[in-house]
Amino acid sequence: MSEIAIIGAGFIGLASAAALMRDGHRVTLFDPAGVGQGASFGNAGTFAHYACIPVNNPSVFRDLPRFLLSNDSPFRLRWGYLPHLAPWLARFMMSSLPRRYEKSAGALAALLDRAHDGYAPLLANAELARFVRSRECLYLYSNAASFDAARPALDLRRQLGVAFNVLGGSEIRALEPSLAPIFERGVLFANSWHFSDPHGFLQTLYGQLAAQGLTLVRSSVHAVEPSADGAALSVDGATRRFAHVVIATGARSAQFAKQCADPVPLDTERGYHVRFPGAQQLVSRPVGWAERGFYMTPMSDGLRVAGTVELAGFGETRNRSLIDLLTFSSKRALPALDTPDSSWLGLRPTLPDGVPVLGRSRASERVIYAFGHQHLGLTLAGVSGRIVADLIAQRAPPLDLAPYSAARF
């Protein structure tokens, strides 16, 4: 039994803690905001095991002008941030070349193929399983041209083992009659599901783990100093030593990786959501509008409309135009919607190839990375936690970790 620190108390951090505690380790979580307060709080709540198509894909070369210039684009770039972002953006464009994109898709598919098994130990617990809603996710396309443009990506999904059915307009309306009759094509992804309350799931998981001895320290870690026999953390002026340290603090993980001899090109995708209270009955499942880049997910406290991408760094200032776009687009898709009562901004960790970092640090095998999951932190939490526990236990992980190594950069 070892003393293990995890930096980050979101989906990846909590799932890692659960897996490590199943192995009998003593675990301390460090997160100044508490449990599930970052990107884990406001996501779309979808278990998206079908999402093996990275944001970096060949379509960006065709779509980038429209994304940058259109008022209804789900993508925004804050021009003042461009000088800082330029090296990342160059890597992103290189990663969008066909061969590199297909490599990233294959790496994501291999992880996603194990996502169900990764969640199995957690969802065997009835108190956690009560948050699961087993309705398959529906992607929508408002015109045939958009669907035709998506065919290469859909074909690649199928090649990589993703099961789905293509629906016509009448089938979409039969499935979700509250939707406006503006969608010509839909894709229904088999065996997908969503959480009715992602934050509630994490709070319940934390409560169970705390009862078993998990410690939460609501302080910032300022530095990680790796060594052959563990790592020292600098926490509010004090030094704390652990046998192993797990870096799982999402978009803020780069500073710690650099301290462990692994400079990684990690940045953030700012994502938004708005909530329509009492409107969760309008759809029975997560519904995504592909061209507009968002999901509408029925949750216990209303309908959550989540999505968009803004490249603008770590500032807290919200882009009102993206909040307005989510509101306008969701009301166009669901005419019965009224007015949202709240909005949220979160920072997704993003790497230019769209593939997370999982594995040991260069400086010490006692420091384990589990970050950079972009839009898939919720989905990949279970399998990522298992990989963390396997590495610390010196067990073989469930797949080859070379594609996820920080050394690839």
373 within some domain: no
137 within some domain: yes
407 within some domain: no
User: Please, what is the end-to-end C-alpha distance for the chain in angstroms?
Assistant: 33
200 within some domain: no
138 within some domain: yes
Domain count along the chain: 1
What confidence score (pLDDT) does residue 62 get? 77
309 within some domain: yes
Q: How far is CA 325 from the centre of its chain?
A: 21
32 within some domain: no
What confidence score (pLDDT) does residue 175 get? 97
Spatial contact of 370 and 16, defined as CB atoms under 8 Å apart: yes
The two structure tokens encoding residue 24: 């009998």
Residue 178's domain spans which residues? 54-79+132-192+266-350
pLDDT in tens, the chain (409 residues): 899 999 999 999 999 999 999 999 999 999 999 999 999 999 999 999 999 999 898 888 777 777 776 777 888 888 899 999 999 999 999 999 999 999 999 999 999 999 999 999 999 999 999 999 999 999 999 999 999 999 999 999 999 999 999 999 999 999 999 999 999 999 999 999 999 999 999 999 999 999 999 999 999 999 999 999 999 999 988 999 999 999 999 999 999 999 999 999 999 999 999 999 999 999 999 999 999 999 999 999 999 999 999 999 998 899 999 999 999 999 999 999 999 999 999 999 999 999 999 999 999 999 999 999 999 999 999 999 999 999 999 999 999 999 999 999 9
E strands in 157-300: 164-168, 185-189, 193-195, 215-217, 221-227, 230-235, 238-242, 244-247, 267-276, 287-289, 294-299
d(CA 339, CA 107) in angstroms, rounded, equals 40
210 within some domain: no
The two structure tokens encoding residue 304: 């959550």
DSSP-derived pairing of the beta strands 138-141 and 185-189: antiparallel
What confidence score (pLDDT) does residue 69 get? 66
Spatial contact of 132 and 123, defined as CB atoms under 8 Å apart: yes
CATH of the domain at 343: 3.30.9.10
Question: What pTM, to 2 d.p., does this model score?
Answer: 0.96
What confidence score (pLDDT) does residue 31 get? 97
What confidence score (pLDDT) does residue 75 get? 87
Spatial contact of 406 and 38, defined as CB atoms under 8 Å apart: no
Q: How far is CA 282 from the centre of its chain?
A: 25
